Amino acid sequence: MSKINNVRLPNASPSYDPSQINQLVRSLEQVIFQLNNTYTSTVDQDVAGSSTWFSNAAGTGGFAGGIRGFQNSNGIILPNAMLISGDDQINASVTGENLLTVYPAFANGISVQSGSRITVPCGGQYLVTFTLQVTNRGNTPAEFEVWAKDTGVNYPLSNTRFDIPVRKSSTIWAHVVPAITGIFTVNDPTNQYLEIAWWSDSLDVYLEHYDAGTSPTRPEIPSVIMTINFISAI
């Protein structure tokens, strides 16, 4: 809390003493000097403190670094992104993992490196949700699994299995759309990144992209749709 460090003013005495007036003048000069050079009002200190709390700076003085200050109409801006893929993604091997490749449809602070590595601007917890357009072009059922990787290491207990039925015909594939939600915790945003891996026991399994349709006019179907939103500091 701001205050003026005042000096002791002279006491009044029954008899007039010019030195008392001189002492009073000196004391008032010191007060005026503080007002002109060092005093900050409580209101100004509160504004400065709240600005620091909502600032970009990381640390104990405010939110996690990367959370940017005020907007006039709808509050603070939080890191977020919608990532998609407009490509068919093949199963390269029945004995190896595949990594989802995506690119931002829109993003604020979140980016994709090397096609699959999703990075965030600040530490915290992020809500990750994605859907996959999984198809089986083959004439036999197939297994499909999808899981998360934290900086190249499998995320514990993150795997999910789906069984993909056989195709309907030689030109109409079988389709399954997994919808996965999880929390990605980031302690080191400089080095950490998120990847989504998948595997199938059949080379006929794809993550399928479809072109825009007609009659009626319909938009393209991406093979991957993913959203990421900052939800909490650590």
Domains, the chain: 80-232 (2.60.120.40)
Confidence (pLDDT) at 176: 96
Provide the 3-class DSSP secondary structure of residue 147. Answer: strand
d(CA 31, CA 166): 87
Measured CA to CA, the distance from residue 160 to residue 154 in angstroms comes to 13
Query: From the centroid of its chain, how far is CA 42?
Result: 34
Quote the pLDDT of residue 98. 98
Looking at the DSSP bridge assignments, the partners of residue 69 are none
| Per-residue model confidence (pLDDT) at position 74 | 57
- d(CA 30, CA 7) in angstroms, rounded, equals 8
The pLDDT tens digits along the chain (234 residues) read: 456 666 666 666 667 677 777 777 777 777 777 777 766 666 666 666 655 555 544 444 444 444 554 454 556 778 999 999 999 999 999 999 999 999 999 999 999 999 999 999 999 999 999 999 999 999 999 999 999 999 999 999 999 999 999 999 989 999 999 999 999 999 999 999 999 999 999 999 999 999 999 999 999 999 999 999 999 988
Question: Cβ distance 213 to 202 under 8 Å?
Answer: no
| Angle CA 99–155–65, to nearest 5 | 95
Q: How far is CA 12 from the centre of its chain?
A: 66
pLDDT value at position 138? Answer: 96
134 Cβ partners below 8 Å, 6+ apart? 144, 162, 164, 175, 176, 177, 178, 205, 206, 207, 208
CB-CB neighbours of 208 under 10 Å? 19
- pLDDT attached to residue 60: 41
| Cβ-proximal residues to 171 (8 Å cutoff; 6+ apart), any chain | none
Q: For residue 56, what pLDDT is reported?
A: 47
- Please state, in angstroms and rounded to a whole number, the distance separating the CA atoms of residues 104 and 150: 20
pLDDT at residue 234 in the model: 81
